[in-house]
């Protein structure tokens, strides 16, 4: 998305941001240096993208996808209480709490290929049967034929972003 910075001598301290015709418009004080402004712009963009991503995520579609994967790879043996997109997972792609059947997937997955999303869903579904990452868990996850490819994608992404794979 294009970023347009409008500097104003009338502004002394405040910085504002909004979307105008597909452009991210930042209004900032004229005397604020580019060095000072850059991290602020990055933070505002991140907040805006996070908000926009949250608005576009569909938990019902996610539930349907999980049901399909449950049928394909777990013979409909799994039950969960809820599966939802969340915006508060910055260091992992998904989480599962087997005790209450809650599965959460990071909004960051929404922009990734479907085979990666499916892998993470299968990974979290497998935790309903195996809480740890032992051999039994990986046997379940490896039922998904694109596991190795998806893990490679996530590992490459983690290296690129200096992130950790969870």
pLDDT tier at 95 (50, 70, 90 boundaries)? very high
Q: Is the same domain home to 8 and 68?
A: no
Strands 94-97 and 82-86, bridge-based pairing: unpaired
Overall average pLDDT of the 63-91 stretch: 94
Q: 28-71, pLDDT tens digit by residue? A: 999 999 999 989 988 888 777 767 666 667 888 999 999 999 99
Give me the count of residues in the chain: 166
Cβ-based neighbour number of residue 105 at 10 Å: 25
CATH number at residue 147: 3.30.2010.10
Q: Is the same domain home to 9 and 88?
A: no
CA 29 to each of CA 6, 50, 64, 90: distance values in angstroms, whole numbers, following the listed order: 8, 25, 48, 31
Greater model confidence, 56 or 134: 134
Q: Is the same domain home to 75 and 122?
A: yes
Q: Is the same domain home to 27 and 103?
A: no
Q: Is the same domain home to 74 and 143?
A: yes
DSSP 8-state assignment for residue 127: T
CB 146 within 8 A of CB 119: yes
| Res 21 pLDDT > 90 | no
Q: Is the same domain home to 152 and 102?
A: yes
Q: Is the same domain home to 45 and 18?
A: yes
What is the number of structural domains in the chain? Answer: 2
Strands 82-86 and 16-20, bridge-based pairing: unpaired
Rg (CA), the chain: 20
Give the pLDDT score at 142.
Answer: 98
Q: Is the same domain home to 29 and 64?
A: no
The residues, any chain, with a CB within 8 Å of residue 12's CB and separated by 6 or more, are: 29
Q: Is the same domain home to 86 and 50?
A: no
**Has residue 127 been placed in a domain?**
yes
Q: Is the same domain home to 27 and 109?
A: no
Q: Give residue 92's domain range.
A: 59-161
């Amino acid at each position: 998305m294009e970023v347009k910075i409008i500097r104003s001598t009338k502004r002394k301290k405040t910085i504002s941001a909004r979307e105008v015709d597909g452009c991210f418009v930042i209004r900032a004080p004229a005397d604020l240096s580019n060095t000072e402004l850059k991290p602020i712009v990055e933070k505002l963009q991140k907040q805006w993208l996070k908000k926009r991503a949250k608005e576009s995520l569909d938990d019902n579609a996610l539930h349907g996808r999980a049901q399909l994967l449950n049928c394909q790879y777990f013979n409909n043996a799994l039950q969960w209480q809820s599966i939802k997109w969340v915006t508060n997972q910055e260091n992992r792609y998904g989480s599962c709490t087997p005790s209450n059947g809650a599965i959460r997937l990071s909004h960051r997955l929404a922009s990734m290929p479907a085979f990666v999303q499916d892998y993470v869903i299968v990974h979290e579904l497998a935790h309903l049967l195996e809480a740890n990452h032992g051999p039994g868990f990986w046997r379940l996850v490896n039922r998904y034929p694109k596991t190795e490819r998806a893990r490679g994608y996530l590992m490459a992404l983690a290296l690129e972003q200096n992130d950790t794979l969870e």
